[in-house]
Amino acid sequence: MNVKGHKAQNQGWDDLKEIKAPVGIRVDCPYYLKYGSTCHFEGQDCTFCFCPFYPCMDPYTGGMMVKGRRSRKWRWSCKECRWVHEPEVVERILKEVREVEGGAKLTREELLKIRRKILGINFEGDNHARLLMVVGTSSNAGKSLLVAALCRIFSDAGFRVAPFKAQNMSLNSFVTREGAEIAWAQTLQAIAAKVEPQAEMNPILLKPKGDMMSQVIVLGKPYADMDGRSYYANFSTGKGFEVVKKALKKLKEEFDIIIIEGAGSPAEINIKDFDISNLRIAVEENFPAILVADIERGGVFAYLYGTLLLLSEAEKRIVKGAVINKFRGNPKNLDPGIVELKIRTRIPVLGIIPFLEDLQLPEEDSVGIKDKGTRGDASVVIGVIRLPRISNFTDFDALASHEDVYVKFIRSPRELEDVSLIIVPGTKNTVKDLLWLRDTDLASTIVKMAAEGVPVIGVCGGYQIIGKRIVDEKGLEGDVGATYEGLGLLDVVTVFDVYDKVTTQVKGEIVIDGGFLEKRRRISGYEIHMGVTERGKDVKAPFNIFKRGKDDVDCLEGALNKEMTVLGTYLHGVFDYPGLRKPLINYLKKKRGEKKVVEKFDERSVTRREVIEESLDRLTRVVTEKVRMTEIFRFLELPFVES
């Protein structure tokens, strides 16, 4: 299967319609009939050197899941299949392709339809994509990570995989290339699936704003602000569910396998009638689901059993198995419980995933906020203010990936003592969190420390907070229209005037040398904010932006004070790349008088993405090993051979 250097491999077929006639045998091909190559028999037709239907997921011509002996990874193998190289089949495919209307590129759905038509298979419902849902007995049970691991496993196996979560409540969001805002969890899963994140993967995103209000984001764009009750009564089961179904349908056309994440627990009987993010869609479209339970706090069998007891008959039927997560100790101890659960519910436990320490993956919601990094006497301590409505706190994970850097979340002035850099993070409500800073005396402590020369960085909402003034005459952020005094560390004024939101990816470079900045270093990130910030004469813009979304631009971003100790920027994820982060850490270490200088600057040095990749690999390996994947293949009706 794996032919190194074979030109045709994975090239894809964007131009099937342009192939006019079969090419016949290509005996000049260096791989023709070589031992171990993909070419299968003498007299074959080489037009489709690489099968355009791969992975077809149909067993009819001999394909199946096999586990690599050395790689220990599952993959879709076509070893027994000669079909696409039969001369008459090639002719037939070309004829059918020409008959399809529309552009040159065929969707997966159309391609697979052609295949079945030629084979004379009448596939029930003609549904190509296979769907699997992962629901949890509680939030934070590990659904997101299991979905990410499954995405990676199936992606490694050769499938086009997409993650999906109908409705996500989270303040950590990401902006896609198209400028749509989706939850970070789905972005991570898309990274795991090795596909570009897109709005359809998380059609509804709820961003809590405090006081039980949430901003509802539909297909990546702000839709309305609603409170819980009106969301359930007027939106979720009506328009919301329509949006969800449409988004899923679109994904089904493009992808082979879709791994769907539920939200919270599917057994919340108080809101079950309105719940659109769990088993409802699985029942409607009849695809299997697995149930994840977290054993960390005990009671795992009660939660599994209770959840199953509270499901309707139709829901129970599609739940095919359970996974126990975050287990420490000897899995043998669980056996009596697993047996009893199976006797009572007929549901098997497919695997026990051990507790994985130090996975460097972004957390989904603020329940998961934890101090990060290594804490030693020598370490640089970075204090991130734990605003009540903190958002995108995963921005700072990258900082903690450095040796001797400790990121801690600050709630009171006392905790700021040993901090060498203060970060005011993003917030869902700038005005309310500014008032909170004043109430807790953090505001005055930050101002005092900044005056003593401690560097301060404000990101997004934090940038607005450390500015001079926030003008909100229409009451878009606060309850009433007013103008608020900021912390005054930067000479900038932010105005909230229209209910409009910037969501875009940007690329640029640093244009100032000095302090913790190094000129000409590349930066990139994404903006998610309302309000417009104007620089006064006492600040300079540290960044020059040359790409916003898909457009080439030339504009300035952010603000830096004269002493070069206070920086404000709208860019999330700006620490993920080394351009700003490394000089900053070096600066902080030097300032602490560390002689053991310092990490050398290297543009190619580890980006946050690579750290994530490493953790994903580890997670995937563990899941492949500990969860009976063959059972999951069985639920998905994928043929396989046991190794």
Q: Which of 85, 128, 402, 572 is catalytic?
A: 572
| Nearest alpha carbon to residue 487 among 555, 391, 559 | 559
Q: CA 277, CA 284: separation in Å to the nearest integer? A: 12
Here the tokens at position 247 are 């988004």
> Do 145 and 104 meet the contact criterion of CB atoms below 8 Å apart?
no
Q: Quick check: helix, strand or coil at residue 258?
A: strand
The yes or no reply on residue 607 touching another protein (CB under 8 A) is: no
| Stretch touching another protein by CB under 8 A, among 3-11, 237-245, 338-346, 418-426 | 338-346
Identify the bridge partners of residue 555 per DSSP, sorted by sequence position: 545
The yes or no reply on residue 305 touching another protein (CB under 8 A) is: yes
Burial 547-572 (b: 16+ CB within 10 A, else e): ebbeeeeeeebbbbbeebbbbbbbbb
Kindly report whether the peptide bond that precedes residue 506 is cis, defined as omega within 30 degrees of 0. no
Residues that bind another protein (rule: CB under 8 A) add up to a total of: 45
The yes or no reply on residue 368 touching another protein (CB under 8 A) is: no
Q: How far is the CB of 174 from another protein (least distance, A)?
A: 24
Q: How far is the CB of 501 from another protein (least distance, A)?
A: 25
Q: CA 456, CA 449: separation in Å to the nearest integer? A: 9
| Nearest residue (CB) to another protein, 104 versus 309 | 309
Q: CA 92, CA 10: separation in Å to the nearest integer? A: 23
∠342-348-352 over CA atoms, to 5°?
115
Q: State which of residues 12, 24, 238, 306 lies at the interface with another protein (CB under 8 A).
A: 306
Q: State which of residues 12, 59, 238, 299 lies at the interface with another protein (CB under 8 A).
A: 299
Identify the bridge partners of residue 572 per DSSP, sorted by sequence position: 526
Q: State which of residues 137, 277, 401, 427 lies at the interface with another protein (CB under 8 A).
A: 137
Does the annotation count 49 as an active-site position?
no
Here the tokens at position 570 are 């709208």
Here the tokens at position 414 are 């006392």
Q: State which of residues 57, 134, 244, 267 lies at the interface with another protein (CB under 8 A).
A: 267
The yes or no reply on residue 285 touching another protein (CB under 8 A) is: no
Does the annotation count 572 as an active-site position?
yes
Q: How far is the CB of 373 from another protein (least distance, A)?
A: 15
CB atoms within 10 A of CB 127: 14
| Stretch touching another protein by CB under 8 A, among 92-100, 164-172, 289-297, 485-493 | 289-297
The yes or no reply on residue 340 touching another protein (CB under 8 A) is: yes
The yes or no reply on residue 357 touching another protein (CB under 8 A) is: no
The yes or no reply on residue 309 touching another protein (CB under 8 A) is: yes
Q: State which of residues 333, 377, 479, 596 lies at the interface with another protein (CB under 8 A).
A: 333
Q: How far is the CB of 368 from another protein (least distance, A)?
A: 11
Residues in contact with another protein, shown as a per-residue x/- string from 219 to 258 under the rule CB under 8 A: ---------xx--x--------------------------
Q: CA 130, CA 123: separation in Å to the nearest integer? A: 13
Q: How far is the CB of 598 from another protein (least distance, A)?
A: 30
Q: CA 516, CA 558: separation in Å to the nearest integer? A: 15
Q: Which of residues 403-422 bind another protein (CB under 8 A)?
A: 409, 411
> Do 76 and 157 meet the contact criterion of CB atoms below 8 Å apart?
yes
The yes or no reply on residue 303 touching another protein (CB under 8 A) is: yes
Q: Which of 39, 46, 78, 460 is catalytic?
A: 460
Task: Give kind and range of the element (H or E) at residue 350.
Answer: strand 349-354
Task: Give kind and range of the element (H or E) at residue 226.
Answer: strand 221-227
Q: State which of residues 338, 421, 571, 638 lies at the interface with another protein (CB under 8 A).
A: 338
Continuous H helices in 194-240: 228-230
**On the CB side of 160, how many CA atoms lie within 13 Å of its CA?**
20
Q: CA 551, CA 256: separation in Å to the nearest integer? A: 32
Q: How far is the CB of 414 from another protein (least distance, A)?
A: 11
| Nearest residue (CB) to another protein, 110 versus 415 | 415
Q: How far is the CB of 110 from another protein (least distance, A)?
A: 41
Q: Which of residues 183-222 bind another protein (CB under 8 A)?
A: 212
Q: State which of residues 104, 302, 378, 482 lies at the interface with another protein (CB under 8 A).
A: 302
**Footprint on this chain of another protein (rule: CB under 8 A):** 136-141, 212, 228-229, 232, 264-265, 267-271, 294, 296-307, 309-310, 330, 333-338, 340-341, 367, 371, 409, 411
Instruction: Just list the catalytic residues.
Output: 460, 572
